Structure 1
Amino acid sequence: MSWNFVRRVAQLLIGLFLYGFAIGMMLQAGVGLSPWDVLGQGTSLQTGIAFGWVTNLIGLAVLLLWIPIRQKPGVGTVLNVLLIGPSAEVGLAVVPAPAELWAQILLFAGGLVLLAAATGLYIGARMGPGPRDGLMTGIHARFGWRLWAVRSGIEVAVLATGWALGGSVGLGTVAFALLIGPLVSRTLPFFHIPEIPSAMPAGAAPATDAEPDPRPVTGG
């Protein structure tokens, strides 16, 4: 077992745990959530099922949508479905909900930065995209629709559904939409683990590792 593989697995697990923990922080801040988390919170409120379990179930449902678009999950995809919900529950359990607005904003900002770092960690491990990421990129690949249009259409529908169910939409939702892309564009290259090149004939020039797409789809 190579050191590169051990590093990828460790980075994947740490990234997924921190991703869920960051969601818990932003949920406790109470100033708005990402579209998928608005849906998770709204579903939790309507069903009485804990937020973490709802997150897992939504991830599983999205993963099933990969079948008609012929996407294949990786190990990281499956672990994403299994681990983000429980780690979000850890965040909810250990991070108190602040009462003052300034503290709410600081908590949300900390959660957003942590989520961006966690996204760079788990995507940079190169062990499979999250179910929501794969759904959007899979639809783009299968039908040729523009990625931004696919992403926007799905997230608007998810946000509207979650809001109708009672999920929290606020300034944090707007901040997430505006800031997560630029933040992740910084963390992805930093945490990206390059592929080890295979043996090449003597004198052949090694191929450079491609830089990851700086415009990732987030939400797990």
Structure 2
Amino acid sequence: MTRRVLQLLIGLVLYGVGDGLMITAGLGVDPWTVFAQGVARHTGIGVGWITNIVGLLVLLLWIPLRQKPGIGTLLNVLLVGTAIQATVTVVPPAHGLFAQVLVLLAGVVVVAIASGLYIGAHFGPGPRDGLMTGMHARLGWPIWVSRLSVELTVLVIGWLLGGTVGLGTVVFALGIGPLVHIALPLFDTRRARRRETSAPERRMRAARPGAGTLVPRPILQRGGLATYDDERARNDLRAARDRSDW
């Protein structure tokens, strides 16, 4: 349990750091951050704080969809935006295309690792993911339709409000899925528990007859049955044949 909570917290903070790096790269960000940037531009509130507020508002949409938040859902609302705000405050904007691309790629990779960490902790989905799964459950829409419709809507609104859409938006859209697919098995706590609980069973199976271990077997000798290990039995059989002792 302690490991899962720690993994969740690290994952959520890193997610915000990765998003913050993408913002400082200045080449475009993911759809929800585009929306947060656009709102921040018109309200004067930091993009990280807007991210927290948007997360809370999205969480309220779970009520008609009858979704139940977990502790990970609530912490997502509190921590991701806070980490974004801290990152954009501390890390200066990247200058020059080469530096921008490096920071952008670093941000996408960090977000992927962070996703593997907090999803793998199994404390509930983020508010935005829960919105899409709730639409799937209540409206019968396929997950991909729910995701595409929601993210396209917030992307367009955010862009119209002045959010940054560009190369980073495309890189994120194309790269985040495969990268999370790689990261998630590395941090899946349920998978790790299954490996731990199945290890003793594998050792027991390995110790059974026929699993590569030497087990006593009876062989026929003059004067009755005697028990030998396989190697000793083979040696005695060869010696008996040589002596014509049968």
Which TM-score band applies after superposition, normalised by the shorter structure?
Answer: 0.7 to 0.9
Structure-2 separation of matches of 1:93 and 1:165: 22
Structure-1 separation of matches of 2:13 and 2:171: 22
Match of 2:114 in 1: 118
What whole-Å deviation, never above 9, does each CA across 1:49-96 have from its counterpart, x for those lacking one?
111110000000000000001000000000000011111112112222
TM-score between both structures, scaled by the size of structure 2: 0.77
Query: Aligned with 2:116: secondary structure?
Result: helix
Match of 1:58 in 2: 54
Tell me which of 165, 168, 175 is aligned to 1:172. 168
Q: Which runs of 4+ in 1 moved over 6 A?
A: none
Structure-2 separation of matches of 1:142 and 1:116: 28
Higher mean alpha-carbon deviation, 7-16 vs 139-148, is at 139-148
Whichever of the two has the greater Rg, that structure is: 2
Greater strand percent: which structure?
Answer: 2
Structure-2 separation of matches of 1:190 and 1:57: 31
Tell me which of 26, 34, 45 is aligned to 2:30. 34
Tell me which of 122, 127, 130 is aligned to 1:131. 127
Match of 1:201 in 2: none
Query: Aligned with 1:168: secondary structure?
Result: coil
Identity of aligned residues (%): 58
Structure-2 separation of matches of 1:75 and 1:31: 33
Q: Tell me, which stretches of 5 or more residues in structure 1 are unaligned? A: 198-220
Structure-2 separation of matches of 1:178 and 1:58: 24
Structure-2 separation of matches of 1:173 and 1:110: 14
Per chain length, whose mean CA-contact separation is higher, i.e. which structure has more relative contact order (CA < 8 Å, sep 6+)?
1
What is the number of equivalent residue pairs in this alignment?
Answer: 194
Q: Which amino acid aligns with 2:113?
A: A
Query: Aligned with 1:180: secondary structure?
Result: helix
Shift of 1:26: 0.4
Shift of 1:162: 0.2
TM-score between both structures, scaled by the size of structure 1: 0.86
Q: Which amino acid aligns with 1:46?
A: H
What whole-Å deviation, never above 9, does each CA across 1:116-136 have from its counterpart, x for those lacking one?
000000010000100001000
Tell me which of 175, 180, 185 is aligned to 2:181. 185
Structure-1 separation of matches of 2:185 and 2:82: 27
What whole-Å deviation, never above 9, does each CA across 1:89-120 have from its counterpart, x for those lacking one?
12112222121011001000000000000000
The alignment yields a C-alpha RMSD, in angstroms, of 1.3
Query: Aligned with 1:68: secondary structure?
Result: helix
Match of 2:232 in 1: none
